[in-house]
């Protein structure tokens, strides 16, 4: 390490290294460097920076490891020390793949990256192409979703730190699974954010979650470099295959070249150098495919983006919930439109936003796999009052209808941990803020968020209660029993069909239609047709080979002279 640090706001900077203090010299552009070479530094050595007349050293803004938490000293980390076993790994493209979203802290009882690696056989059997980790960068406390993190390049120590992270990625690659890391660049957490002491990392204004990051003001060139270098670090030093970019609509950037486009350019260069695909996926509330339009077509050049409209349409169709942002999705035709056109709100009026929203998708030229869809994810489960899953409210047939629609849609499907066996455990919002005032503000903020959804505030668990976190851990023992095992068999069968049938992963959009009166929906994709019957009467859909039925989820294909879809069920048919 050179121990250089960008601190244009400081009058004096000293390096605290392994119990000794070393003077630093101001160099060009607000950077500081040690006045003399501190000599060889063993891996794991504690260090930090003393600004001005401070007596307490602050962690390195570019820290790779925080063994004593976000308020403690940083530790050196040799990213090249790991002996990689994935030398034959050439990457995986997103097109045709299935993503599995995972929270390290609740995926296993041990809540570590090493324990998660021990469960990869389960994901291989499920046909998973990528595992997507919710944020793992350093945050204050032990348990958290990770979206209020700070020190964007450090791996949360209770998960195992950066060495365990490298072991996890290595294990995934050896199992044939790529890794997508969820990263947050639109705000910083409220505890442990010392960046403003160093430089103008923030600017005036706020988004939903905190102060705006300075992407276009004075000093923003170094802030943008800070973000891009962190992103490249995950891909280069930790061999990650892609990044999920959190809430990009909350990035405030009026620069000539938007941060997302600049990031796409540099990631593409790294991909060419490493000769493997590197994927950028945006979470966006904009319903605007300019994000994934290639730069030569006037877009930002990202690879894919989430489509929340798919989730909302599937959820409403199967559960009947129409509160809050679900209201516009009440007609079954909303689901047909999403399957047919990618977005429901594509310039239409959104009653939740009280304005027109979105842009239409050019389905002739935009491949459908650029939209990532799901029936469940951390937001849509965890932001319910109790963190209750749809498995608590739906029978097996309807749960498998959700799987059928998700895994056989033209889009890139994403599963949420435990969904595949109808997990009975909730996924609630949980925190472990050591600061009482922050804990209280977080709990009060959750209650305010739920007002528009009409949920009972008395049902909202205290996010600071350790039991809220404990209840959210998956129970792996239930996966092999009764209803859970039957749902899992259905997911595995659908995963096998995705590998066997090229029509399912065809990048072109299908044709969908819905009958509102009978509550029946059909999605056609070449010779394949998905029929879902949400009405009260049996439905005859013609003859063909039934490849999957929610009534017989684990059975191999069978032929029927006349295919009948019972109420509350679905089938995949090849004509």
DSSP string for 356-417: EE-----TTTS-GGGEEE-S--HHHHHTSSS---GGGTS-HHHHHHHHHHHHTSSSEEEEET
Calpha distance 431→463 (Å, rounded): 5
Beta bridge partners of 203: 212
Q: In this structure, is residue 555 part of a structural domain?
A: yes
Total number of residues shown for the chain: 575
Q: In this structure, is residue 180 part of a structural domain?
A: no
Mean pLDDT of 20-48: 96
pLDDT at residue 530, rounded to an integer:
97
Binned at pLDDT 50, 70 and 90, residue 554 comes out as low
pLDDT at residue 457, rounded to an integer:
78
Domain end among 58, 76, 93: 58
Task: Quote the percentage of the chain above a pLDDT of 90.
Answer: 90
Binned at pLDDT 50, 70 and 90, residue 552 comes out as confident
Calpha distance 294→250 (Å, rounded): 21
Domain end among 17, 33, 58: 58
pLDDT at residue 450, rounded to an integer:
72
How many helices and strands in the chain, by DSSP H and E? 14, 26
At 55, is the secondary structure helix, strand, or coil?
coil
pLDDT for residue 21 is more than 70: yes
Calpha distance 279→367 (Å, rounded): 15
pLDDT at residue 113, rounded to an integer:
98
Query: In CATH, what number is assigned to the domain containing residue 536?
Result: 2.60.40.1180
Q: Which two tokens stand for residue 154?
A: 């450090």
Calpha distance 534→319 (Å, rounded): 10
Calpha distance 488→81 (Å, rounded): 39
Domain end among 20, 37, 58: 58
Q: Which two tokens stand for residue 81?
A: 């020390």
Mean pLDDT of 266-295: 97
* β pairing state of 279-282 and 242-245: parallel
Mean pLDDT of 260-275: 98
CA 223 to chain centre: 23
Active-site residue flag, 516: no
Q: In this structure, is residue 376 part of a structural domain?
A: no
pLDDT at residue 129, rounded to an integer:
98
- In terms of Cα–Cα distance, which of 98, 176, 198, 155 is closest to 420? 98
pLDDT, mean over the chain: 95
Calpha distance 193→259 (Å, rounded): 21
Q: In this structure, is residue 538 part of a structural domain?
A: yes
Choice among 15-19, 235-239, 446-450, 494-498 with the minimum mean pLDDT? 446-450
Calpha distance 254→216 (Å, rounded): 6
Q: In this structure, is residue 541 part of a structural domain?
A: yes
Mean pLDDT of 531-556: 88
Q: What's the domain range around 40?
A: 5-58
**DSSP-assigned letters across all residues of 545-574:** EEEEETTSTT---EEESS-EE-TTEEEEEE
Q: In this structure, is residue 286 part of a structural domain?
A: no
Mean pLDDT of 50-71: 97
pLDDT at residue 560, rounded to an integer:
63
Q: In this structure, is residue 46 part of a structural domain?
A: yes
Catalytic residue among 148, 246, 303, 340: 246
Binned at pLDDT 50, 70 and 90, residue 46 comes out as very high
Calpha distance 506→508 (Å, rounded): 6
Contacts of 264 (CB under 8 A, 6+ apart): 280, 295, 300, 301, 302
Contact between 387 and 423 under an 8 Å Cβ cutoff? The reply is no
pLDDT at residue 460, rounded to an integer:
86
Each residue of 439-483: pLDDT tens digit? 888 878 777 777 666 677 788 898 999 999 999 999 999 999 999
What's the Cα-to-Cα distance from 26 to each of 9, 12, 23, 31, 50, rounded to whole Å? 11, 8, 10, 6, 14
Percent of the chain that is helix, strand, coil (3-state, to 5): 30, 20, 50
pLDDT at residue 558, rounded to an integer:
59
pLDDT for residue 556 is more than 80: no
Binned at pLDDT 50, 70 and 90, residue 488 comes out as very high
Active-site residue flag, 246: yes
Binned at pLDDT 50, 70 and 90, residue 69 comes out as very high
At 222, is the secondary structure helix, strand, or coil?
helix
pLDDT for residue 326 is more than 60: yes
pLDDT at residue 427, rounded to an integer:
98
Count of structural domains, the chain: 2
pLDDT at residue 555, rounded to an integer:
65
pLDDT at residue 557, rounded to an integer:
58
pLDDT for residue 559 is more than 60: no
What's the Cα-to-Cα distance from 570 to each of 309, 399, 487, rounded to whole Å? 21, 10, 14
Task: Quote the percentage of the chain above a pLDDT of 70.
Answer: 97
pLDDT for residue 407 is more than 90: yes
Mean pLDDT of 279-285: 97
CA 361 to chain centre: 22
Catalytic residue among 157, 283, 419, 478: 283
Q: In this structure, is residue 355 part of a structural domain?
A: no
């Amino acid at each position: 390490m050179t121990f250089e640090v960008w601190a244009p706001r400081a009058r004096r900077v000293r390096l605290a290294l392994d119990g000794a203090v070393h003077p630093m010299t101001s160099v060009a552009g607000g950077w500081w460097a040690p006045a003399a070479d501190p000599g060889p530094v063993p891996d794991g050595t504690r260090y930090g920076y003393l600004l001005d007349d401070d007596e307490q050293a602050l962690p390195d803004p570019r820290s790779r490891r925080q063994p004593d938490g976000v308020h403690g000293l940083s530790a050196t980390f040799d990213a090249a020390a790991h002996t990689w076993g994935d030398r034959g790994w050439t990457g995986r493209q997103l097109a045709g793949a299935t993503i599995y979203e995972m929270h390290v802290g609740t995926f296993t009882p041990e809540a570590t990256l090493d324990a998660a690696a021990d469960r990869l056989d389960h994901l291989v059997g499920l046909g998973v192409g990528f595992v997507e980790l919710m944020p793992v960068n350093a945050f204050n406390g032990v348990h958290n979703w990770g979206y209020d993190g700070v020190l964007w390049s450090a791996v949360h120590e209770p998960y195992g730190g950066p060495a365990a992270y490298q072991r996890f990625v290595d294990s995934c690659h050896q199992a044939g699974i790529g890794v997508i890391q969820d990263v947050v660049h639109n705000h910083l957490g409220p505890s442990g954010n010392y960046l403003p002491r160093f430089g103008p990392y923030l600017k005036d204004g706020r988004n939903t979650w905190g102060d705006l990051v300075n992407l276009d003001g004075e000093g923003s060139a170094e802030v943008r470099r800070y973000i891009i270098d962190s992103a490249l670090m995950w891909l280069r030093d930790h061999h990650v295959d892609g990044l999920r970019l959190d809430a990009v609509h909350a990035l405030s950037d009026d620069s000539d070249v938007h941060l997302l486009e600049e990031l796409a350019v540099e990631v593409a260069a790294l991909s060419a150098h490493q000769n493997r695909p590197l994927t950028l996926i945006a979470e966006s509330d904009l319903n605007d495919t300019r994000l994934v339009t290639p730069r030569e077509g006037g877009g930002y050049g990202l690879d894919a983006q989430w489509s929340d409209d798919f989730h909302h349409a599937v959820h409403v169709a199967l559960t009947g919930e129409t509160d809050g942002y679900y209201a516009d999705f009440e007609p079954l035709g909303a689901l047909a439109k999403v399957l047919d056109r990618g977005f429901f709100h594509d310039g239409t009026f959104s009653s939740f936003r009280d304005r027109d929203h979105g842009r239409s998708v050019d389905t002739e030229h935009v491949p459908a796999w650029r939209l990532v869809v799901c029936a469940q994810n951390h937001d849509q489960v965890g932001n319910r009052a109790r963190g209750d899953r749809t498995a608590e409210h739906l029978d097996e047939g309807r749960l498998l209808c959700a799987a059928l629609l998700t895994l056989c849609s033209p889009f890139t499907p994403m599963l949420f941990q435990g969904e595949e066996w109808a997990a009975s455990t909730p996924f609630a919002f949980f925190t472990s803020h050591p600061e009482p005032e922050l804990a209280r503000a977080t709990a009060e903020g959750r209650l305010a968020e739920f007002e528009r959804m009409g949920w009972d505030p008395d049902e909202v668990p205290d996010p600071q209660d350790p039991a809220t976190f404990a209840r959210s851990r998956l129970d792996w023992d239930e996966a092999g029993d009764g209803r859970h095992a039957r749902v899992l068999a259905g997911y595995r069968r659908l995963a096998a069909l995705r590998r066997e049938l090229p029509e399912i992963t065809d990048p072109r959009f299908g044709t969908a239609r819905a009958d509102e009166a009978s509550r029946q929906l059909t999605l056609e994709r070449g010779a394949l047709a998905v029929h879902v019957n949400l009405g009260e009467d049996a439905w005859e859909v013609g003859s063909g080979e039934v490849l999957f039925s929610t009534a017989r989820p684990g059975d191999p294909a069978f032929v029927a002279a006349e295919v009948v879809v019972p109420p509350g069920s679905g089938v995949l048919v090849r004509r």
